[in-house]
Amino acid sequence: MTSRPKICFIEGSAYAVLDPNVKKAGTGGESVQHALLAKAFVERGWDVSLISADLGQEDGIVVSGVKVWKTHTRMGGIPIVRFLYPRLYKNWRALKRADADIYFHSCAGYMTGIVAWFVARRARKMVFRIAHDTDCVPGDELIKYERDRRLYQYGLRRANLISAQSAQQAKALVDNYGLQSYEVDMSAEIPDDPDDAARDIDVLWVNNFREFKRPELVIDIARRMPDKTFTMIGGKMRGSEALFDSVREKAQELDNIDFVGGVPYSEVNAYFERARLFLNTSDSEGFPNSYLQAWVRRVPVISYFDPDGLINGEQIGVAVASQDAFVEPLTELLADHESRGQMGRRARQFVIERYSPQAIAAEYERLFDEHFGISVADG
């Protein structure tokens, strides 16, 4: 190679994380991961681009050293026809403009198949990162249309490299697809250590409103803990509007719940700094970015979902054994400042040592060099 290696990240809302001036609520954990990795690869000497949705930005704008190619607005175009135009057309055009050596994509959907088809025709490489446990189970994917499911499965089978978030995901890929993957941790921004004096939220819940996130459980828990304050943050998701409206209505009936709704990524971390405990009520996940946001700010996590047993194994929160067992650990830790503080300190150190964006980017570089023969040293 005679120039810097080129990597392109593909994630619909990542630009909203990359540029703090974009006030878009409902940004998911994968958007955060792509933005953090993109900036880390810039610092490591790569030529980096990002393919993101049209959020009103200028096409080809450069933010933090990352060139951003936009595709289409979320609901742009005529139903049925819009799959071909603007979606297929504008995504393909953005892939060509990026002209990358490696295309890095995550989130199961039709785009997985499009990227796989593109790189095969152009002799480029595709990396697919598992974002949710259901990505590894045919038929269980969080995908609405059968067409999109088939495109996803086509793309997954043709990815040149697959990274998984946990041993559970890696095993499921082997069991269900016969595909090998490599476990690579998430990355987390490392902020200054927050001031405990500002912690005025007993229990924080941050998630997009989808059925498997089970936000209605927060209402039940808050009713059973009337002397504790709860804050709920999350955007209204397409297809789950009724769930959002129902939970909001019930939350507004309780004096101890502050239902905030959607908050842009650039503003949500301020809530983590105010929290004493973080609550996750999902029954399935990938590896929640919110866990890292909480831990690095010394906030223990109380959850039913514990990826690879980290919460209990590292003693950085409590993983409950049943979906009805949240109240006891929440009550005990809110009353025990010393234990909560010890968990928080362990959690922050755990993230600093294991999840820095530079460390994760370096692990991907090692895989790229090993499997593709592509590295900065060749530039």
> Quick one: average pLDDT of 117-140?
95
> Quick one: average pLDDT of 96-109?
96
Asked if the structure places residue 70 within a domain, the reply is yes
Asked if the structure places residue 285 within a domain, the reply is yes
Exposed, middle or buried by CB within 10 Å (0-12, 13-18, 19+), for 238? exposed
Same domain for 162 and 58: yes
The pTM is what? 0.80
| Contact indicator for 320, 333 with CB cutoff of 8 Å | no
Asked if the structure places residue 97 within a domain, the reply is yes
* Domain CATH code at residue 236: 3.40.50.2000
Range of the domain at 350: 196-354
Of residues 149 and 241, which shows the higher confidence score? 149
Taking only the tens place, the pLDDT of each residue in 282-307 is 887 778 889 999 999 999 999 988 88
Same domain for 327 and 374: no
Asked if the structure places residue 72 within a domain, the reply is yes
Same domain for 204 and 305: yes
Asked if the structure places residue 1 within a domain, the reply is no
Same domain for 216 and 169: no
DSSP states of 268-290 as a string? HHHHHHHEEEEEE--S--S--HH
Same domain for 200 and 323: yes
SS3 content of the chain, % helix, strand, coil (to 5): 45, 15, 35
Same domain for 21 and 93: yes
Same domain for 40 and 26: yes
Same domain for 135 and 246: no
Q: Which residue has the tokens 């057309």?
A: 89
Same domain for 152 and 59: yes
Same domain for 98 and 179: yes
Does residue 103 register a pLDDT over 80? yes
At 24 the pLDDT is 66
| Contact indicator for 132, 210 with CB cutoff of 8 Å | no
Asked if the structure places residue 373 within a domain, the reply is yes
Asked if the structure places residue 139 within a domain, the reply is yes
Taking only the tens place, the pLDDT of each residue in 147-190 is 999 999 999 999 999 999 889 999 999 999 999 999 999 899 89
Same domain for 245 and 309: yes
Same domain for 17 and 71: yes
Asked if the structure places residue 263 within a domain, the reply is yes
Does residue 25 register a pLDDT over 60? no
Work out how many domains the chain is built from and give that number.
2
Beta-carbon contacts of 231 under 8 Å, excluding residues fewer than 6 positions away, are 201, 203, 204, 205, 257, 258, 260, 271, 275
